[in-house]
A and B are shown apart, each in its own frame.
Chain A
């Protein structure tokens, strides 16, 4: 039986399709493992890799940028992870970036998360080591939980003792719970407290009213003082004037003091009058003479009024005074 041309063509087509599918699958898988990209290698050191494996994804800000190339034990507590990173992304990763190991979802594969640093560091170069942050593992959480549960057991035991004591009426709380007289007294106290608080509340309300009145009513002195700005200004001026007056009074008193001092200390007439007794005697006799003189002068003047020559003049004066009096 001979193979026809159409059979050969169909066979060729089938072989080509099959081969293309296989190559496409291999390419797609290879592409995801960065086999056909220019890559960069960076590394980080961890204490615990939590089950990370070769080929696990490396993410930077949530984008898959590479894979884990190698995991090697450096010493008993340090594990080195080499990561293959897509060269196109490298310009965005700075030297202060931090690598952490996380999980892709709740039950997903482990991944290396690279988070950007906060500073303005230089761009990472090939073979650089970035800082790492060890997250708390499930074992650590479980061990903490175990301590917590132990503490909870101790706490509940103590709590049990306390509740037992309380139900038996021991201690203050037990008395509070079981003593009926005390409960009655407490009830009364609370009633009193209630009354007192009601009174206090009422007093506070009244105080509030007063304060409100003070705030709003300008007629009262305090209200005016608080609210009236014009009166306030006036009062301020008065106070200022008072201050100025007191200063001036002080100055006047100073001057008076100085004058009094001068009086008492200097050789002036006052001092002479106050202190010289002979002058007083002279003055006394002089004044006596003056009095006698004026008496005699009055008599002379009276005599003049009755004199013919001058009597007309005096009558004229009297008439003028009367006119002015009207």
Chain B
């Protein structure tokens, strides 16, 4: 009897895994369809420029402060934390090049993207989710407006275009934060710091890092829109949509980053 119960529990567990796997695969499939639909709709007229500009402003300008302060602190902390170790080796003069490469190649893009996934991804998920549960999307369909084009395409495009700019500004502010520490602790001039940073940087650092931020933006926008657009279960579903948008897009960011490093390695021989 005990064994049969265990067997039943095991079978139930397996069934649950199967159900979850099916749901996951289904979600991946739906996301793929969603992505394909986005690429189909993005080149179709009419183009919603005004809505695109509004979304760009919302996602770009309004994230600037958050990205700026995050970047500044990251630059500051990275320099403060690394400095004692480099000092031990007598290699403090390597600090600007080390911090510059770290920020431009990896820390700047990934931190900015994670911040944006939290702010923008959850915002999109919650906004579209609430529109879905309050049947505004259905109303738009009934009124003859293409909700996908108006709501999804504009938002995804806005994140895709704004994130690289946010990353560049964030990198610059992070380097500024790092420079402040270097200036206070090591009395390094701004020109020397800038020279050392750009002496260490190559196109192999900045170009792939910028290209991958487009994919980061695309991922954040698509996942946020997907989660919100297909939101279920009323108002409770809005929270879940916002939450899962952040979690899934963050996971996706790391996967994209991993792939980007591999591709960069092939082309630039890091």
Contacts and interface: CB of A to CB of B under 8 A. Distances in A.
Interface of A: 1-3, 7-8, 10-11, 14-15, 17-19, 21-22, 25-26, 28-30, 32-33, 55, 107
A61 B169 CA distance: 38
B172 interface: yes
A14 B50 contact: no
Contact of A29 (B53, B168, B203): B203
Contacts of A22: 164-165, 168, 210
B181 interface: no
B201 A14 contact: no
A14 B168 contact: no
A19 B165 contact: yes
A25 to B, nearest CB: 6
B61 A1 contact: no
Given A3-B53, A11-B57, A15-B60, A33 B202 contact: yes
22 contacts: A2-B54, A3-B54, A7-B53, A7-B57, A8-B53, A11-B57, A11-B60, A14-B64, A15-B56, A15-B60, A17-B169, A18-B164, A19-B165, A21-B171, A21-B172, A22-B165, A25-B168, A25-B201, A26-B206, A28-B194, A29-B201, A32-B198
Interface string B55-74: 01100110010000000000
A153 B30 CA distance: 74
A2 B49 CA distance: 11
A28 B195 CA distance: 9
A25 B206 contact: yes
B168 A18 contact: yes
A243 to B, nearest CB: 84
Interface in B188-211: 194, 198-199, 201-203, 205-206, 210
Interface string B127-149: 00000000000000000000000
A15 B165 contact: yes
Q: B-side binding surface: helix, strand, loop or mixed? A: helix
B24 to A, nearest CB: 35
B60 A29 contact: no
Contacts, number: 66
| Closest CB pairs A-B (n = 3) | A18-B165, A3-B54, A28-B198
Contacts of A26: 203, 206
A18 B56 CA distance: 13
Q: A-side binding surface: helix, strand, loop or mixed? A: helix
Given A1-B54, A8-B53, A11-B53, A18 B169 contact: yes
Contact of A11 (B61, B168, B202): B61
A11 B172 CA distance: 18
Contacts of B245: none
Contacts of A28: 194, 198, 201
Q: How large is the interface on B (under 10, 10 to 19, 20 to 34, 35 or more residues)?
A: 20 to 34
A107 B89 CA distance: 11
Given A3-B54, A15-B165, A18-B166, A10 B61 contact: yes
A80 B129 CA distance: 64
B179 to A, nearest CB: 15
Most A CB atoms within 10 A — which of B61, B64, B91? B61
B238 to A, nearest CB: 19
Contacts of B203: 26, 29-30, 33
A18 B169 CA distance: 6
A107 B194 CA distance: 21
B206 A29 contact: yes
A26 B61 CA distance: 23
Nearest to B198: A28
B5 to A, nearest CB: 58
A189 B198 CA distance: 78
A17 B166 CA distance: 10
Interface string B68-93: 00000000000000000000000100
Most A CB atoms within 10 A — which of B104, B166, B168, B206? B168
Interface in B150-172: 164-166, 168-169, 171-172
A7 B54 contact: yes
B102 to A, nearest CB: 15
A18 B67 CA distance: 13
B149 to A, nearest CB: 17
Contacts of A15: 56, 60, 165
A10 B165 CA distance: 14
Contacts of B50: 2-3
Contact of A10 (B57, B164, B166): B57
Nearest to B54: A3
B68 to A, nearest CB: 11
Contacts of B53: 3, 7-8, 11
Contacts of A19: 165
Contacts of B169: 14, 17-18, 21
B221 to A, nearest CB: 17
B165 A14 contact: yes
A22 B213 CA distance: 13
Contacts of B205: 29
B208 to A, nearest CB: 13
A107 B60 CA distance: 41
A29 B198 contact: yes
